[in-house]
Amino acid sequence: MNERLTNLRQRVRQRQQTDERTTPAPDVWAECEAQKLGWMQRSAQRTRRMCEAERPVIWPEERIVFTRTIPETPPIYTESQIAEMTRGRILHELGPISNICADWGAVLADGLLTRRRIAQAARQRLADNPEAVEFLDAAIETIEAVLGLAARYAEAARAAGRRDLAEILEHVPAQAPRTFHEALQSLRLLQAVVWLSGHYHVGLGRFDQYMWPYLWADLQTGRLDLPAAEELVADFFIALNKDSDLYPGVQQGDNGQSLMLGGVTPRGEDAVNELTSMVLRAARDLSMIDPKINLRISTQTDLELLSLAAELTRKGLGFPQYSNDDLVIPALTAHGYDLEDARNYTVAACWEFIIPGKGMEVVNIGAVSFPHAVDQAIRQGLRQNEDFDAILERIRTNIRDQTEARLADYRKLFLPPAPYYSVLMDGCLATGRDLSHGLRYNNFGLHGAASANAADALAAVKRFVFEEKSLPPAELIAALEADFEGYADLRDALSHQAPKVANRDALADEMLVFLFDCFADACEGQPPNPRGGILRPGTGSAMYYVWLARGREAMREPVVGATADGRRSGDFFSANLAPSLGVRADSPLKVFESFSKIDYRRICNGGPVTIELSDSVFRNQEVIRKVAMLVRSFARMGGQQLQINSLNAETLFAARQHPERYPNLIVRVWGWSGYFCELAPEYQDHIIQRCLYQMAE
């Protein structure tokens, strides 16, 4: 990085942008009440009033502008009003539509003026449809709000003597970008207004695909060379980090600003280009938490690209996260996605596979607790002297019941109107339908959490209770109820002598596959949701590795006590697809071997194999290349998704003791990366425990 970027990055990390957050939020609720507006109109009014109230801020050293000056998004209804209007229905998470991906490429190529013309033509054609007219009027209002915001930024740029920026902002996002710089600036504004509108987890999609035509044209004409282009990418990434602390999530950093690289085009051709590598280099050199980088790979992915990705992992950022096209695309087509759309997949905030512009999918409606299903079946089955097959049947029933319980509420899902987000999606304006009514794909996603712990517990019972008959059922039940107090020897045997996933143990792996087969059966047996979508099972855990172990306020998922894998009550579960905490795997390949046995054609909602490597592994370029070869091996062994984290236990302990010395220490939490010292203690604890059981080098 040059001196300008270094200073700009430092300024953002010192949070100097927070000094600009002095603009009071408009009282949109009072305005809407006075005008007696409905939900659609209120949504548009919030977007317009937020854009009008934003005060343009342009730092002398920045080339991609927009700094948020209103720290809060005002409500458009009171909580009691929302409760009354949605009685008998439920809202997803915080309420507004989130965790989807706009068709950024199409929006950029059109420009907002073209989108406005489409809306105006549809309004004329659908004039006798009051609902369509209301939506289209609201959509046009939001378009004009964004155009107004850009115009005021252009005026501020001229006033500051920044003619270069003024000319850019006078052209975009109103019209299609003429240059790479204009495309980046347009995207920055378009995406920022989604947040201003009250949405969250706003993904960036296949960045190196929709941005490449603008960069390629600049390179061909000589307007830019590669170093200058990479500098602009870094500018854009720094801008994304300015306001990320305002974006809601379970923890600071869980903001969903993910982008996807590589893979294939919708026609099936290699999609890797110069921008793919450029993004990896920029993210490596900046070492900031946003954007979260994802890389699509296959068995044929070039080792040089994988080596560059490994250099990024070396920095300890916890990304890129890898997705294997060889498995993901066939799984999506098997679940009803058109082939061209499946080839065009990206990820949601964490890892779930979605289609830009065409998906109104709710990819995480909760989790099925595999440890709960196994633990209940073991305790109840052993008390009644049942055989192992009967215990397995209990598990199958429990998983089905949990699945149906999670889905039952979401059959009553209410999605609030989203007129501005609809402007950015495919077909909403032309058809006069807000995206809350559904798009091409309307599936739900559900995850099977803590699978390794559950499989380990089940394998231990089969081995010790039913095969060897060395453990009396009554003794195991007593030990579990006592949380292993007074049963140290038994706990040691369950923890260290029983079969474990990720250690090339056929029994443990068989139990792992059984659990996910039961889960797939339960999801496939459900009728379509009210928008015609299916239920997609996945392998992620998100925050459930803490919640299922320790609970949370008003949590509906069952908290699991001591389990037959030797885990004590309150101890964490493993995250995503990973060995149980405390299980030391001899090699990453053994981990891959276990989890590659899952049938990913049926388990298609995403969720990565997660491994921790000591930062000492990345000691030279030769080893970095070996890490790249490890990623290729993952693809060739049939893995679906992969996270590799570089951690140092001493550094983590030191950061706990002296957080002021480690403000830039970044770690992977689950499907996102954050600053370690900004995390809650329980998430810091889990990361430290993962680090203590790293892979052998």
Per-residue pLDDT of 350-369, as tens digits, reads 899 999 999 999 999 999 99
Residues 6+ apart with CB under 8 A from 658: none
Longest Cα–Cα distance of the chain, Å, equals: 83
Q: For a pLDDT cut of 90, what percent of the chain falls above it?
A: 81
* Position 694 confidence tier, pLDDT thresholds 50, 70, 90: very low
Lowest average pLDDT, out of 192-196, 495-499, 668-672, goes to 668-672
What is d(CA 425, CA 110) in angstroms, rounded to the nearest whole number?
12
Place of tokens 């977007």: 47
The tokens for 508 are 């443990």
Q: Is 470 contained in some domain? A: no
Q: Is 32 contained in some domain? A: yes
- Entry pTM: 0.93
Residue 171: predicted pLDDT: 98
Q: Is 48 contained in some domain? A: yes
The tokens for 633 are 């091996």
Residue 670: predicted pLDDT: 66
**How confident is the prediction for the chain on average, in pLDDT?**
93
Residue 579: predicted pLDDT: 92
Q: What is the pLDDT of residues 557-596, one digit of tens each?
A: 678 999 999 999 999 898 889 999 888 877 889 999 999 9
Residue 256: predicted pLDDT: 81
What is d(CA 309, CA 43) in angstroms, rounded to the nearest whole number?
40
Strands 353-354 and 666-668 come out as unpaired
Q: Is 442 contained in some domain? A: no
Beta strand extents in 249-349 (DSSP E only): 258-262, 292-297, 321-324, 346-347
Q: Is 321 contained in some domain? A: no
Residue 266: predicted pLDDT: 97
Residue 555: predicted pLDDT: 53
Residue 51 maps to which CATH number? 3.20.70.20
Residue 695: predicted pLDDT: 41
Residue type (1 letter), 329: I
With 60 as the cut, is the pLDDT of residue 637 above it?
Answer: yes
| Angle made by CA atoms 468, 472, 476, in degrees to the nearest 5 | 110
Enclosing domain of residue 35: 3-293
Q: Is 191 contained in some domain? A: yes
With 90 as the cut, is the pLDDT of residue 246 above it?
Answer: no
Residue 83: predicted pLDDT: 95
Report the pLDDT averaged over residues 510-531.
96
With 50 as the cut, is the pLDDT of residue 383 above it?
Answer: yes
* Position 459 confidence tier, pLDDT thresholds 50, 70, 90: very high
Q: Count how many domains the chain has.
A: 1
Q: Is 72 contained in some domain? A: yes
In whole angstroms, what separates CA 35 from the centre of its chain? 38
Neighbours of 120 (CB within 10 A): 15
